[in-house]
Structure formats: structure tokens, C-alpha cells
């Protein structure tokens, strides 16, 4: 049990602030970045390998098939930068192709997780001795800031459809911010999921093995670990819905019964009704028109797009 002084300290940090704000709101919500503690990041890695979660392997397929064309289009003498790089597992495809074109390649993976960056440095160092990796541990704001200090012609990678977890105005804000750090000749490579039938989308976010449900419920387990909350995970159902009007998957945790929860670090009592939902995440699914518009409103010009056979996923090259 933490002392009251420790609890006070915890209550001041970003997690506590976000939880207090989100769980006091109507309807209740939690920000999706809270999903990614060490356990959540591990569960997300498992999601990317699920048969229903087509996104990762489809994007990987596009990169494998079109790496040469993408780099040709991006231009000569590139420095690679990746936002939200994680372990940079898909980026290897571009690095391998780039090393055939340039004798010297510099790669700046940017991520909040120092352990993911360590893993990236280790793996890439083993696989590509000629590659120079300069990891930057930072969140989006700090990471985008770091971008402006990188010299040379940049290819900025923002792949994995992470942009889809931002609401449209926030996505535009983030892309504008990225754009401000780029110079003429630099390029952005954006990976984004396309809108498709809910028959494909719903299982991708509610898989048969229940890994995605565990990933979502881990957000409450995190609050139990970090804020000493007493959420009973079995009282929450993972709900994945397709919102056709807004072109997004919506993820919720639904309380199956009316019950109370106490969060000591926030001195906060919650009374949840049976059927009440806590919104956890949106995952936008774009049409080609939405992508062009998103980039245009962010000050980019869409130059070329690559997709897979089913047109399920797109990788887009844009310039300032």
C-alpha cells in the first residue's frame, strides 16, 4: 500500500490528470495512449500477429512490394526518421532497400518507449552493420520538435496507421506540426487504413482469441497498478463498433453491472451503471478522398499512393 505522500505524488502525474478528467466527463472516456504501458505494448505486438488484424501484414506487404518505388519517389541521399518507431520492425524493409542505393544511411527512430528503442538499435545493428541509428526517446511533441534539428534530406515515416487514432482536427494539428519541421525536398510517408466492410473491420478489433479485449481491459489493470484503483476487470465487456458516419472503429469498455469503483490516488469514487460505457479509442478508416484532404489541410501535397490487392491499406508519399 502506498503512503499518502506517494499517492499525492502519483496523483500529480500525467496519468492521474488524464484519468481524473476522462472519468469525470459525461460520457466517460480514457485517452488511448494509456493503453501502452509495458504490458499493453506487449499485447499490441500480439495483436499485430493475429489473423483478423490485417493492418500490419498488409502494410508490410505494400512496403515489401514497393520499397524501391517509394524510395525512388522520395529522392536521393535520404536520412530516415520514424515517428512512433517502436521496434521499427517494418522499417527494415525500407532500410534494406536504401542501403542498396546509398553507402551511408542514417536512421532516427523516435518513440516514447526507451525499451522499444533499445530493441530497435540492437536488432538493426545486428542486421545492418552499415546503418547508423540515432534513437530519440520522446513523445509526439518532443519527437516532432527533434525533427527540426535533423539535417539532410529527410524521409519522415509515420506508418502503422497511428494517425488513425487521432480525431481529424488533432490529426491535422499533428501533421501541420510535422510539416513545419520539414524543408523543401523532404517527404512524408504516411501509412493509413482504408474504410472497408464491417465484416473485415469488426473481427480485426474483436478477435476470436480475445487478445484485443485483454489489450483494452489492461487500461483498467494499469489504473489498478498505478493508481491503486479497484476495477474488477471481469465486470467490463470489450465493445468494438463501426461508426459508418464518422468512418471509424470505436472501442469501449462496458460495465456489465451497476457497481462502484474507488481510485485512492485521486480520492475519486465512481458509480457505474449497468451498460455504461467508457470510451477508450477511435481508429479512423479513410477513403482516398479523406487522405488527400487530410494532407492538404495539413499543408502537404499528396504525390503518390501505394496500396494492396484488396485496397485495404494505403501508404502515401507527400511533400511540403
Residue nearest to ligand AVI (CB): 283
Binding range to ligand AVI, per CB under 6 A, among 94-102, 156-164, 229-237, 305-313? 156-164
Span 261-290, contacts to ligand AVI by CB under 6 A: 281, 283
Applying the rule CB under 6 A, the residues between 174 and 213 that interact with ligand AVI are: 205, 212
- Residue 314 as a binder of ligand AVI (CB under 6 A): the answer is no
Which residue, among 221, 200, 194, has the nearest Cα to 42 in the 3D structure?
Answer: 221
Q: Which stretch binds ligand AVI (CB under 6 A): 19-27, 158-166, 176-184, 259-267?
A: 158-166
What letter does residue 210 receive in the DSSP assignment? -
Choice from 41, 58, 165, 255 touching ligand AVI (CB under 6 A): 165
Instruction: Establish if 160 lies at the interface with ligand AVI (CB under 6 A).
Output: yes
Here's the x/- map for ligand AVI, 9-38, by CB under 6 A: it reads as ------------------------------
- Residue 162 in contact with ligand AVI, rule: CB under 6 A: yes
Contacts 24+ apart (CB under 8 A), 59-64: 59/90, 59/159, 59/160, 59/161, 59/191, 59/313, 59/315, 60/90, 60/93, 61/308, 62/306, 62/307, 62/308, 62/313, 62/314, 62/315, 63/90, 63/93, 63/94, 63/159, 63/315, 64/93
What is d(CA 310, CA 293) in angstroms, rounded to the nearest whole number? 22
Does the footprint of ligand AVI cover residue 58 (CB under 6 A)? no
Site size for ligand AVI (CB under 6 A) = 11
Left, alpha or beta for 278 (phi > 0: left; psi -120 to 50: alpha)?
beta
Enumerate binding residues for ligand AVI (CB under 6 A): 47, 55, 160-162, 164-165, 205, 212, 281, 283
Amino acid at each position: 500500500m502506498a503512503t499518502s505522500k506517494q499517492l499525492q505524488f502519483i496523483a500529480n502525474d500525467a496519468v492521474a490528470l488524464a484519468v481524473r478528467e476522462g472519468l469525470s466527463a459525461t460520457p466517460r472516456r480514457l485517452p488511448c495512449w494509456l493503453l501502452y504501458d509495458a504490458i499493453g505494448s506487449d499485447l499490441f505486438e500480439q495483436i499485430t500477429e493475429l489473423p483478423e488484424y490485417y493492418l500490419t501484414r498488409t502494410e508490410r506487404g505494400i512496403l515489401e512490394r514497393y520499397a524501391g518505388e517509394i524510395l525512388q519517389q522520395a529522392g536521393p541521399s535520404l536520412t530516415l526518421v520514424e515517428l512512433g518507431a517502436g521496434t521499427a520492425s517494418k522499417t527494415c524493409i525500407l532500410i534494406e532497400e536504401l542501403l542498396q542505393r546509398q553507402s551511408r544511411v542514417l536512421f532516427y527512430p523516435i518513440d516514447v518507449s526507451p525499451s522499444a528503442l533499445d530493441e530497435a538499435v540492437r536488432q538493426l545493428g545486428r542486421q545492418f552493420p552499415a546503418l547508423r541509428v540515432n534513437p530519440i526517446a520522446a513523445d509526439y511533441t518532443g519527437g516532432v520538435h527533434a525533427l527540426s534539428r535533423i539535417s539532410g534530406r529527410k524521409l519522415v515515416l509515420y506508418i502503422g496507421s497511428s494517425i488513425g487514432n487521432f480525431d481529424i482536427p488533432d490529426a491535422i494539428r499533428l501533421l501541420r506540426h510535422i510539416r513545419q519541421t520539414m524543408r523543401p525536398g523532404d517527404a512524408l510517408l504516411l501509412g493509413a487504413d482504408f474504410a472497408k466492410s464491417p465484416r473485415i473491420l469488426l473481427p480485426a478489433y474483436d478477435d476470436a482469441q480475445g487478445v484485443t479485449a485483454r489489450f483494452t481491459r489492461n487500461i483498467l489493470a494499469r489504473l489498478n497498478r498505478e493508481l491503486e484503483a479497484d476495477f474488477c476487470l471481469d465486470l467490463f465487456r470489450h465493445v468494438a463498433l463501426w461508426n459508418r458516419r464518422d468512418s471509424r472503429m470505436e472501442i469501449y469498455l462496458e460495465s456489465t453491472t451497476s457497481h462502484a469503483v474507488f481510485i485512492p490516488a485521486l480520492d475519486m469514487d465512481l458509480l457505474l451503471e449497468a451498460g455504461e460505457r467508457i470510451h477508450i479509442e477511435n481508429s479512423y478508416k479513410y477513403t482516398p478522398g479523406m487522405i488527400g484532404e487530410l494532407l492538404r489541410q495539413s499543408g502537404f501535397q499528396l504525390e503518390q499512393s501505394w496500396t494492396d490487392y484488396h485496397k485495404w491499406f494505403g501508404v502515401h508519399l507527400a511533400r511540403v
